[in-house]
Amino acid sequence: MTHTPTRPRENWLPASFIDPRLAGSVSIDPPGPFVAGSYARLTLTCTAGRFGIDDTGAIRVCFRFATDGGPPQFDKPAAPNFVSVEASNGATLDVRYDYKLSTRPWDRTIVVRVARGYMREGDTITLRFGDPSGGSPGFRLQTFVDPFHQFLVLADPIATGAYVPVGNQPTFAIVAGPPATWHAVLPTLRRVGEAFDLGLRADDRWGNPAVPGERVLRLQGDGPIAGLPETVAFAAGQTSLRVEGLTLRAPGSASVMVCDDAGRPLVRSNPVTAALVDGPISCWADLHAQSAETIGSGSIADYCAFARDQAFLDAVSHQGNDFQITQQFWEELNAVMRSFYRPGRFVTLPGYEWSGNTALGGDRNVFFREEGRPIRRSSHALTPDLSDEASDCHDARSLFAALAAHKEDVVCWAHCGGRYADIAYAHDVALERSVEVHSSWGTFEWLLDDAFALGYRVGVVANSDGHKGRPGAEMPGASQFGAIGGLTCFLVPELTRDALFAAMRARHHYGTTGCRLHLAVHAALPPGALVHTDDPVLPGSQGRPASIAVMGDIVTGAGGELALSVEIAAASPIHAIEIRRGTEVIETIRPAGGLPTGRRYLAVWQGAEYRGRFRQSSWDGALHIEANTIEAVAPVNFFNPDEQPRLVDPHTLAWRSITTGNFVGIVFTLAERNAGRARIATANGTLDCALADLGPTPVVLDCGKLDRRLSIARLPDANPHRATALSRSILLQPDSDNPIYVAVTLEDGHRAWSSPIYLTPKP
């Protein structure tokens, strides 16, 4: 299916009422296109309009919030991102850059002020990005594709401090680079004989879908997969390919190896596992991201097409900041969601992000079962039409109260983004069914811990909250986002809105940091136990007799011991499985822990500074090995290709790294087993230990702040455990809730969390 990109609607507000045609004009040379993340040299020429620019007047060159291009600098001509600025008439100019100055989403801003003199009509101010005259290698462009990229130029010709966009604003295309990595995507759970697709895509080094060119790929099935052709072909200009009509011919798991036309392996897919005949199937979704009509990139139509055709999602929603959603865009958003909905193939949900300030409850996701519902904003900060201001809900408590009238077709989630949800301030048991533990902003297990401490019974979700127009396949690029966007797998009987909404209300889902692994968690229940979808504290909540509980269920009448079973199938070896009761880790299972220890070691750092927007924690540091040498290095969660660990010498490895609640690490292989010492020195702490003392259980150093830790452990030389099934008997606490769930860590750095099964003695 082909999709032509469309230019998004602009929803920002100029401050001046001058006719833009009188304010000046702007041109860019060369006109592009440019490769994403490349170093470019381009000239921006701003020509003064009818009023000229008066003494102390200025222009602003603005970049969207989502951009992760290099920060402009003006005093190091030989360094990257140098920008020279010149007035054609010799006027003295003052230049500075502020990452948050102009009106959102155009907040990253260069200000060029006429400090002495003035500009007449026709005079020019020229900005040379990546000016090579002093030796600069160029200006690093943003790392993600945008067919309508723009340097927005505003002018204050009258020197009043009120800016207006100048006329004929040019755009240029930022395009993907050559293919660097391949992706092969299968659903994770389908019934035997039920048709499914294999999605194939190649990305450039920054995670943009690339054009592989006309080429043939060879496919090799592993397991009971049927209908797989021996070869498939990409056509010229094609960025993704969908292989349809595959089935599982018998119970079990299957995967697909993708090779080039010479038979060299490119990528292995995630596994697909056979579902029970009367059991659920998987519905992979990213229900939380934004397009350029708010603070993201690309139009809402491009956004939905990417989710369906490039990320191979089963479901998507759009969660624009409410205070930036005009009524016109709200209607367009609903119409696009309706047009993309195809039962059985692709599910869309209309909704928005209620973006209240932290002190008023913080961010909440709001999802509707159908279009045509009203939007209740936290404010009208960037929406000038105040005709519906009476419906605003300035705090989360009033939001829940207003939504209560529609509680049968609305679900809310607690979210941690720039603002984090304060679920102690406000929570609605009937409406707020889950909390988000991972997104591009990082990992936030503390939000789930908050819910446990408050006695809430919520599910676990993960999404991208992506701003780069890539829902379902959001890489962090080179910006403040430090993690891959997450995904949620919903367990549904079919791919429809009703089924998805029922799974959201029942918490029948698990979240991941972006991988697609099969995860099943079941609890055997004694006679007399009741399973509830709605929390039993709600009036009218009805339980049903059941012998099995699945993730998300709330169970009453199950005391004594619990028989728990867990099933996992992943593309990467399984590093650790934690069985948790709320904040308590009951047991950690390391499937490869019984194998002989080898010469591989894993060093990990994780955590955040605090809960708020600037939570990034810097871990710049080095690993030094005494009396041994480093033979091989495999980075874990180093997402920026320009910031990879570097081998200084055979004994020393150095890096620059940040975490935002997630973890980053290095798997390193040494020449000799057990010999020497390892010293890991970082900005937040130093860990020193004898290598012979290390085993599969990590040695951990607490580094303070928000779950900041530094650790090191030993790995086997090879870990074959990509799938496992286990059973455990858990003694339940008789007088309190038992939220039993599973957290999985894979060797490639991905993580997953099941929604808890809540076993409660309370009626």
Question: Is the Cβ–Cβ distance between 270 and 188 less than 8 Å?
Answer: yes
At residue 362, φ and ψ (nearest 5 deg) are: 75, 180
Is the predicted pLDDT of residue 763 greater than 70, yes or no? no
Over residues 116-172, the pLDDT tens digits come to 999 999 999 999 999 999 999 999 999 999 999 999 999 999 999 999 999 889 999
Paired tokens of 642 = 């320009």
Rounded (to 5) percent helix, strand, coil in the chain: 10, 40, 45
Q: Where are the alpha helices (DSSP H) in 459-596?
A: 497-506
Over residues 419-466, the pLDDT tens digits come to 999 999 999 999 999 999 999 999 999 999 999 999 999 999 999 999
Q: Which CATH number fits domain 282-514: 3.40.1160.10, 3.20.20.140, 3.40.50.2300, 2.40.110.10?
A: 3.20.20.140
- Band (pLDDT 50/70/90 cuts) for residue 12 is low
Question: Is the Cβ–Cβ distance between 400 and 431 less than 8 Å?
Answer: yes
Over residues 670-720, the pLDDT tens digits come to 999 999 999 999 999 999 999 999 999 999 999 999 999 999 999 999 999
- Cis-peptide into 105, omega within 30 deg: yes
Sort 544 into a burial class: Cβ within 10 Å, 0-12 / 13-18 / 19+: exposed
Instruction: Quote the CA–CA distance of 695 and 597 in Å, as a whole number.
Output: 7
Res 762: pLDDT:
60
Over residues 698-708, the pLDDT tens digits come to 999 999 999 99
- Band (pLDDT 50/70/90 cuts) for residue 179 is very high
Is the predicted pLDDT of residue 292 greater than 70, yes or no? yes
- C-alpha dihedral (719, 724, 728, 732), degrees to nearest 10: 100
Over residues 390-422, the pLDDT tens digits come to 999 999 999 999 999 877 799 999 999 889 999
Pairing of strands 561-569, 723-731: antiparallel
Over residues 201-245, the pLDDT tens digits come to 999 999 999 999 999 999 999 999 999 999 999 999 999 999 999
Reduced to 3 states, what is the DSSP secondary structure of residue 147?
strand
Res 1: pLDDT:
59
Per-chain mean pLDDT for the chain? 96
Q: How many residues does the chain have?
A: 763
Question: Is the Cβ–Cβ distance between 144 and 85 less than 8 Å?
Answer: no
Domain boundaries, the chain: 20-175, 181-189+198-274, 282-514, 520-592+725-763, 594-716
Half-sphere exposure of 620 (CA within 13 A, CB side): 3
Paired tokens of 470 = 């890539």
- Cβ atoms < 10 Å from Cβ of 86: 13
- Band (pLDDT 50/70/90 cuts) for residue 16 is confident
Which class is domain 520-592+725-763? mainly beta
Question: Is the Cβ–Cβ distance between 488 and 509 less than 8 Å?
Answer: yes
Task: State the amino acid at position 92 in one-letter form.
Answer: T
Instruction: Output the CA–CA distances (angstroms, integers) from residue 533 to 449, 520, 552, in the order listed.
Output: 21, 18, 8
Instruction: Quote the CA–CA distance of 95 and 607 in Å, as a whole number.
Output: 37
Residue 340: its H or E element: helix 327-340
Reduced to 3 states, what is the DSSP secondary structure of residue 600?
strand
Question: Is the Cβ–Cβ distance between 37 and 478 less than 8 Å?
Answer: yes
Over residues 51-103, the pLDDT tens digits come to 999 999 999 999 999 999 999 999 999 999 999 999 999 999 999 999 889 88
Work out the angle at residue 177's Cα, subtended by the Cα atoms of residues 172 and 181, and round it to the nearest 5 degrees: 145
DSSP one-letter code for 426: -
- Check for a shared fold between 20-175 and 520-592+725-763: yes
Paired tokens of 24 = 């000046």
Paired tokens of 659 = 């975490």
Task: State the amino acid at position 562 in one-letter form.
Answer: L
| Mean per-residue pLDDT, 323-349 | 97
Res 186: pLDDT:
98
Q: Which CATH number fits domain 20-175: 1.10.3470, 3.40.50, 2.40.50, 2.60.40?
A: 2.60.40
> In sequence order, what DSSP letters do the residues of 245-296 get, joined into one string?
EEEESSSSEEEEEEE-TTS-EEEEPPPEEEEPTTS-EEEEEE--B--TTTTS
Residue 531: its H or E element: strand 530-532
Q: Which CATH number fits domain 181-189+198-274: 1.25.40, 2.40.160, 2.60.40, 3.20.20?
A: 2.60.40
Question: Is the Cβ–Cβ distance between 709 and 703 less than 8 Å?
Answer: yes
Q: How much of the chain exceeds pLDDT 90, in percent?
A: 93
Res 172: pLDDT:
96
State pTM to two decimals.
0.96
Instruction: Quote the CA–CA distance of 466 and 285 in Å, as a whole number.
Output: 13
Rg of the chain taking only CA atoms, in angstroms: 27
DSSP one-letter code for 661: S
List all residues 6 or more positions away from 256 whose beta carbon is below 8 Å from its beta carbon. 184, 186, 198, 219, 220, 221, 222, 225, 228, 268, 269
Is the predicted pLDDT of residue 14 greater than 90, yes or no? no
- Band (pLDDT 50/70/90 cuts) for residue 33 is very high
First to last CA, the chain: 52
- Cis-peptide into 645, omega within 30 deg: no
| Mean per-residue pLDDT, 183-198 | 98
Query: Please, what is the angle between helix 327-340 and helix 300-309, to 10°?
Result: 30
